Amino acid sequence: MSKYIDIAVNLIGGALEKNRDDIIQRAVAQGVSPLIVIGSNLAESELAIACSVEYPQHLYCTAGTHPHHASEWDQASTDKLRLLAASPKVVAIGECGLDYNRDFSPRPKQRDAFEAQLDLAIELQLPVLMHERDAHDDFLSIVKERRSELCGALLHCFTGNRESMEAYLELDLHLGITGWVCDERRGAELAELVCDIPDNRILIETDSPYLLPRSMRPKPKSSKNEPQYLPYIAQYIATLRDQDPADFAEKAYRNSIDFFRL
């Protein structure tokens, strides 16, 4: 059985949390372990650390503030995040970045929080797990200014166009690909682009409970995505890339091990 690492699982504070033990065990049964649990704000990051400690063999986590929560970022946040990041279970700063699609936080606050978290990642020499939606120009400018000092930079759930992909690859970013690529409507462009991501820059993820692969048959009754479905996504991507599924799974697994220093 191939091995997989799901690099983005929203296990805390949402639809998966109450059944987390079953979800983790179902993932492990499919060869998906460890899971990287996402911290979307500082309080959730603290809970993600506690959950990862509870499942030491199967969970790691990130710690950070998502752009949706950037309004919560204040002068004390950097120190709080520095303390959280000292946990050995924290393998990246994030999820941080910019989201101009929903603007749940004012854009200046998003930029301030993003820049502060990148600066902390540089200080701590931790990789950073990032989010970008409809904010390519500002995102690129902020990351470009700091890229040479970042030890690793991952744009998770990449769904952009060719221009943005090429710009991010030129900055030596890793790109996380989700089940979005399995959607023949919204994911058609990504299905073409995924063939051109270098072998050493592609990572795979579910971003569960979101983005259940549209092409799955039969569809899960719950309509919720889970880490156990990562092998399906991996095989779908391997087919698009005209690669042997086992070889692709091994490359993605090794990329994740190297990026998060597991």
Q: What residue numbers does the annotated binding site for a divalent metal cation cover? A: 95, 131, 156, 207
Residue 257: Cβ within 10 Å count: 13
User: Which residues pair with residue 37 across a beta bridge?
Assistant: 9, 61
Q: Which residue ranges are tagged as binding site? A: 95, 131, 156, 207
Q: What backbone phi and psi angles, to 5 degrees, belong to 14? A: -150, -155
Q: Is the peptide bond before 34 cis (omega within 30 degrees of 0)?
A: yes
Q: Between the CA atoms of 187, 102, 19 and 21, what dihedral angle is there, to the nearest 10 degrees?
A: 80
CB 127 within 8 A of CB 154: yes
Residues 6+ apart with CB under 8 A from 73: 65, 109, 112, 113, 116
Rounded to 10 degrees, the C-alpha dihedral 185/188/191/196 comes to -160
Please provide residue 239's backbone torsions phi and psi, each rounded to the nearest 5 degrees: -65, -45
The answer to whether the beta carbons of residues 151 and 127 sit under 8 Å apart is yes
* Angle 48-258-252 from CA coordinates, rounded to 5°: 90
203 Cβ contact list (under 8 Å, min separation 6):
7, 154, 156, 174, 175, 176, 177, 252, 255, 256, 259
- Cβ burial of 155 (10 Å; 0-12, 13-18, 19+) is buried
